[in-house]
Structure 1
Amino acid sequence: MTIAITGAAGQVSTLIRPLLRVPDRVLRLSDISVVSDLAAGEEFVQASVTDLDAMTSFFEGADLVVHLGGHKSERPWRDILETNINGSHVVLEAARRAGVQRVLLGSSIHAVGFVRAADAAAAPVLPPRPDTYYGVGKVAMEALGSLYADRFGMSVVSARICTVGADIGTGGRTLSTWVSPGDLARLVEATAALDHPGHHIVWGVSANTRTWFSPEAGLAIGFKAHDNAEHHITPTTDVQPPNPTDLLAGAFTGDPTRPLGGTW
């Protein structure tokens, strides 16, 4: 099996690559930044997600595309439009041209950042309520994923990834939103085995005791999270539960130091 990963120099890819290295698998990596720490079974192509010809060539022969490329936080609208929205279109169109039937899109909690934490589990899939231009970019990514799944019979998973980390950091709201590298890798494996065409929006979050999210959509595609933030509590962890009336995006929805369209 060959898995093609965009944004391979970023945090998520760096955390999950060691967990995806198995015999008889090729991890084909791409980014505008060079990935130099290649292991056995990995190969790298330097390219931008906005380059249709480069992406089409990069995806040739792949069994799964994992799209993690693009800006990782808020940026001016023109940057989100060109790299995150247009880049998502390029990736999906390139996957279609290359004959790849399975695509995992790295969406974000910021696609629904204005939902209250207490309401997050009201439905397996929440309608969009983006908190930033970055969040709007993720909503557009999901919409494009839906279009390509329905129009071309592809299996597309949009993962609303929450708080990524090798550990839970200082705790607090992370006790509800943490997703471990192991569970992200399990989500990739579930998508690689998915034999059901269509668009599937799932939460990219671990099985945290204090989770705000329903696991139902993930379970429907074979993704079962195993890890739990509670198992990583230390004496310095802030274990105060977040206020359920808080918005999912927390400070990203109103912090004046993080203006809409700013560079964070």
Structure 2
Amino acid sequence: MKRLLITGAAGGLGTALRSKLAPLAETLRLSDMTEITDLSENEESMACDLGDAAAVEALVKGCDGIVHFGGKSTEGPWSVINNANIQGVINLYEAARKNGKPRIVFASSNHATGFYPQDQVIDNTVYPRPDGFYGISKVFGEAVATAYHDKFGMETAIVRIGSCFPEPRNHRMLSTWMSYDDFAAMITRIFDVPKLGCPIIYGASANTATFWDNSNVAWLGWQPKDNGEDYRAKVDADTPKPAPDAPDVIWQGGMFCAEDIHEE
């Protein structure tokens, strides 16, 4: 690609993955609410509020692919989620439609299906069961991606990200963890395949314990290599086991399924 846009580039995922995604394009266009100043030679920065349609259209112009990490990334007030994750997604897809229909990686979330129990393995055909405002916004984004594919032929990989960190932080993450290397390899395959369509992919490494079945997207050729099980002894030693009736033991969405709002 000539130019790959990464929204939310100053966030955790954007910061961790931008160097790993650099080989995909001659130029990485990095965007967040504020300017990014620590740029490498092949990077450029454009600050953008996703709720501003005109600014998003300018941001997308000239881009051959989009990795959409932008928006509110945790549970929170609806006013914030609405601007970034609802209006922002509409603005992004409209801008992409008007500017060459670049292929998109949409960072959805396991919280779109958070109210499935942990003892049930689900695939990408299940009906959404969001666990809060954040999960609801991701279901909305998935619907937008699907509609723009069916109506306009725009290709999107909907990635229901589990827990993408350097290593699992608690017992639930032994099942939901995805390493940075595995995510970068997935994104590479997404932009590599000749025909993508609009698949839903669960974003998790090759964890021994898992809630999710990706067999329907085996054609993508993505083969994660890391395994949360390698960290079980460390998690057991460092983290108290939750009570058997705790939300992060019962539900795939963990503490997002509690009645109060949690930041995670």
Could you state the TM-score of these two structures normalised by the residue count of structure 1? Answer: 0.89
Secondary structure of 1:65's counterpart equals: strand
Selected match of 1:250 from 226, 248, 254: 254
Deviations 1:43-70 (A, max 9, x none): 1111111222222222222221111111
Q: Is the 8 A contact 2:4 2:24 kept in 1?
A: no
Contact 1:118 1:245 in 2 (8 A): no
Partner residue in 1 for 2:168: 168
Please say if 1:37 is aligned against 2:38.
Answer: yes
- Matched residue, 2:176: 177
Matched, 1:71 2:72: yes
2:156 and 2:24 map into 1 onto residues whose CA distance is 25
2:75–2:256 contact (8 Å) kept in structure 1: no
Aligned to 1:18: 19
SS at match of 1:21: helix
Who is 1:86 aligned against? 87
Quick check: 1:155–1:194 contact (8 Å CA) kept in 2? no
After TM superposition, give the deviation of residue 223 of structure 1 in Å: 2.4
Q: Give the direction of change, closer, same or farther, for the CA distance of 1:96–1:194 in structure 2 (3 Å limit).
A: farther
Matched with 1:62 is 63
Q: Tell me, yes or no, if the aligned pair for 1:120 and 1:126 is still in contact at 8 Å.
A: no
Counterparts of 2:232 and 2:143, CA distance in 1 = 37
- Residue of structure 1 equivalent to 2:186: 187
Name the stretch that deviates more: 237-246 or 136-145.
237-246
Please give the alpha-carbon distance, in whole angstroms, between the structure 1 residues aligned to 2:68 and 2:88: 10
One-letter amino acid of the structure 1 residue matched with residue 109 of structure 2: S
Offset of residue 115 of structure 1: 0.5
Asked if structure 1 preserves the Cα contact closer than 8 Å seen for 2:207 and 2:228, the reply is: yes
* 1:207-253 deviation digits (Å, cap 9, x = unpaired): 11112211224423332212111234554355979979711111211
Q: Whole-Å Cα distance in 1 between the matches of residues 196 and 168 of structure 2?
A: 34
Counterpart position of 1:199: 198
Summarize deviations over 1:87-135 as a string: whole Å, max 9, x none: 01111111111113311111001101101112233x3432110000111
**SS class of match (2:36):** coil
Partner of 1:108: 109
- Distance, in Å, in 2 between the alignment partners of 1:134 and 1:107 is 10
Structure 2 vs 1, CA of residues 49 and 24 (structure 1 numbering), >3 Å: closer, same or farther? closer
CA distance in 1, matches of 2:250, 2:178: 19
State the alpha-carbon separation in 1 of the partners of residues 216 and 15 from structure 2: 26
- Give me the whole-angstrom Cα distance separating, in 2, the residues matched to 1:206 and 1:239: 23
Separation of aligned partners in 1, 2:143 and 2:243: 31
Q: 1:217 to 1:36 in 2, by over 3 A?
A: farther
52 and 108 in structure 1: CA distance in 2 versus 1, 3 angstrom threshold: same
Aligned with 1:70: secondary structure?
coil
Identity %: 33
Relative distance call for 1:153 and 1:23 in structure 2 (3 A) is closer
Give runs of ≥4 in structure 1 deviating > 6 Å.
239-245
Whole-Å Cα distance in 1 between the matches of residues 121 and 112 of structure 2?
12
Classify 1:115/1:69 alpha carbon distance in 2 versus 1 (closer, same or farther; 3 Å): same
Which moves more between the two structures, 18-27 or 237-246? Answer: 237-246
- Taking structure 2 as the reference length, the TM-score comes to 0.89
Paired with 1:232 and 1:242, the residues of 2 have a C-alpha distance of 20
Structure 2: distance between partners of 1:194 and 1:88: 24
1:124-165, Cα deviation, whole Å (9 max, x unpaired) = 432110000111000000000000111111111110001110
User: What residue ranges of structure 1 are gaps of 5+ in the alignment?
Assistant: none
| Alignment root-mean-square deviation, CA | 2.4
